[in-house]
Amino acid sequence: MNPIYLDSHATTPVDPRVLDAMLPFFTEHFGNAASRNHPFGWTANKAVAQAREQVGSLIGARFRDLVFTSGATESNNLAIKGTAARAPHDRRHIVTVSTEHRAVLDPCRALERDGFRVTYLEVDREGRIDLDRLRGAVGSETLLVSTMSANNEIGVMHPLAEIAEIAHAQGALLHCDAVQSAGLVPPNVKELGVDLVSLSAHKMYGPKGVGALYVAKRDPAIDLEALIDGGGHERGYRSGTLNVPAIVGFGKAAELCGESADSDAVRLRALRDRLWAALSTLDGIHMNGPMEPRLPHNLNVRVDDVHGESLLKAIAADVAVSSGAACATASAEPSHVLRAMGLSDEQARASIRFGLGRFTTEPEIDAAAEIVIKTVRHLRR
Ligand SMILES: *Cc1c(COP(=O)(O)O)cnc(C)c1O
C-alpha cells in the first residue's frame, strides 16, 4: 500500500479530469499548434488558446499575456534573466528574499557573476518580510523585485500589493513566483499590480513539465529577452513546439482550481488545523512560521530531541512528507529557509513539512498524526 501522501508542496497528482482532457491530444489530436495549413494544426492551436484562457482567468490575466514554458524554474529564469538582459545601464540592481526558491536564488546568483548587484532581504523568525526594510532596499537603480506569493516550506504569504507599490514607486518591476498559492489562493494580477508571475502545472493537479510566465502589458512594454530562440513561438519569448497535451492539462487544471479553490481552502485549513491539534499534544513540538498569513494546506513543525532524518526515515513507509524543498533534500543541506528564519542547523534538520492536497482525507490526517506521534515517542525512548 502507498504511504499517505502529505507532500503537496513538492508535487501533486494529476487530477483524473485533467488526464481525460489531455489524452486525445496525444493520439487523435496530435497536431502541431503552429501548423497553419490543416485541421490538425487548427485543432491543436484552438486547444492551446482555450488553455491560455483557462490559466489566464485563474489569475485575472488577459490570455495574450501568458507565455507557456516548461515549468516554473524556466518561468523564473525567463523573468529574472530576461529582464536583466535588457536592463538599462543605470538599473542593474535586483532585490529578492533569502527564503525564495532555488529557482529564483540561483538565477540571481548567476546575474551577480555578470555584474548585477543583488540584495537578499532577510526575514524575521516567522519568515515574514519587513516592508520598511524592503522600502530601504529598493532604489532608483533597482530593476526588479522578486518575491514569492507564498513560501514552499513554511507557507507564509507575502503582502504582494504592498510590495508592488514599493517596487513601482521606484520604477522597478515586481516578479512573483506564485507556484505555491496558485491552486488554492490564486493571486489576481490586476488587483495586485504584479508585472511578472510564474506558475507551474504540477503543483496544481496538472502534469509535470509545463508552466507559464505572465507578462503584464505595460506602456512602455516590459522588455524581456528570450532564453530560447528558434521559431518565434509564444510571441518570441519562448521558441519550441508547444507541448499541446501538457498545456491542455494545465488549462483544465487551472479551470478546476478556479472552481474549487475557495471550498478546498476551507476544507484543507480545517484538516491542517486538525493535524496541528493532534501533533501539538506532543511535548517539545513547535510550529515553524506563523499561523497567519499562511497557506491553508501547509504545516511545518520541528520536534525537540529527535533527529529529523531518523524520524522521516522511520515514517517513510507510512507517511510521505519531507524536511523541506525537494531540491534541498537532494543535497541533504539543512533548509536555507529555516536557517534564514534563525533556526540552527539541528533545528532545521528536525523539521517536517506537511503539504495537504485535494485528495487528502480526514482519516488520512488522523492516521498520519498517530504515526508521527507514536514514532516520535519511540525515538525519544
Ligand atoms: C516547485 C517550485 C518551483 C519549480 O517549479 P517547476 O515547475 O518544478 O520547475 C519554483 N518555485 C516554487 C516556489 C516551487 O514550489
Which residues is 176 bridged to in the sheet?
Answer: 147, 197
Containing structural domain, residue 275: 4-11+261-380
Q: Mind listing the pLDDT tens digit for each residue in 118-161? A: 999 999 999 999 999 999 999 999 999 999 999 999 999 999 99
CATH number at residue 290: 3.90.1150.10
Q: Mind listing the pLDDT tens digit for each residue in 298-346? A: 999 999 999 888 899 999 999 999 986 655 445 568 899 999 999 999 8
Q: Mind listing the pLDDT tens digit for each residue in 43-85? A: 999 999 999 999 999 999 999 999 999 999 999 999 999 999 9
What's the whole-number average pLDDT of the chain?
96
Q: Mind listing the pLDDT tens digit for each residue in 217-254? A: 998 999 999 999 999 999 999 999 999 999 999 999 99
End-to-end CA distance of the chain: 28
Following DSSP, what letter does each residue of 149-205 receive, concatenated? Answer: SB-TTT-BB--HHHHHHHHHHTT-EEEEE-TTTTTTS---HHHHT-SEEEEEGGGTT
- Domain identity same for 343 and 370: yes
Is 203's pLDDT higher than 90? yes
CATH number at residue 45: 3.40.640.10
- Domain identity same for 91 and 179: yes
Domain boundary among 255, 288, 320: 255
Cα of 74 vs centre of ligand 1, distance in Å, is 9
- Are 222 and 196 within 8 A, CB to CB? yes
- Domain identity same for 279 and 226: no
Is 369's pLDDT higher than 90? yes
Cα of 12 vs centre of ligand 1, distance in Å, is 12
| Mean pLDDT of all residues in 107-111 | 98
Coil vs helix vs strand at 119: strand
Buried b (16+ CB within 10 A) or exposed e, 171-197: ebbbbbbbbbbbbbbbbebeebbbbbb
Output the pLDDT for position 222: 96
- Domain identity same for 199 and 302: no
pLDDT band at 279 (very low <50, low <70, confident <90, very high): very high
- Are 26 and 245 within 8 A, CB to CB? yes
Active site residue 176: no
Domain count for the chain, please give it: 2
- pTM value? 0.97
Name which residue sits closest to atom 1 of ligand 1, judged by CA. Answer: 10
Domain boundary among 237, 255, 273: 255
Cα of 73 vs centre of ligand 1, distance in Å, is 6
- Domain identity same for 52 and 161: yes
- Domain identity same for 27 and 132: yes
Output the pLDDT for position 323: 83
- Domain identity same for 265 and 247: no
| Mean pLDDT of all residues in 163-174 | 98
- Domain identity same for 170 and 282: no
The residue type at 234: E
| Mean pLDDT of all residues in 14-30 | 98
- Domain identity same for 207 and 188: yes
Domain boundary among 206, 223, 255: 255
- Domain identity same for 300 and 239: no
- Domain identity same for 41 and 188: yes
- Domain identity same for 227 and 328: no
Name which residue sits closest to atom 15 of ligand 1, judged by CA. Answer: 152
Residue 71 Cβ < 6 Å to ligand 1:
yes
Output the pLDDT for position 64: 95
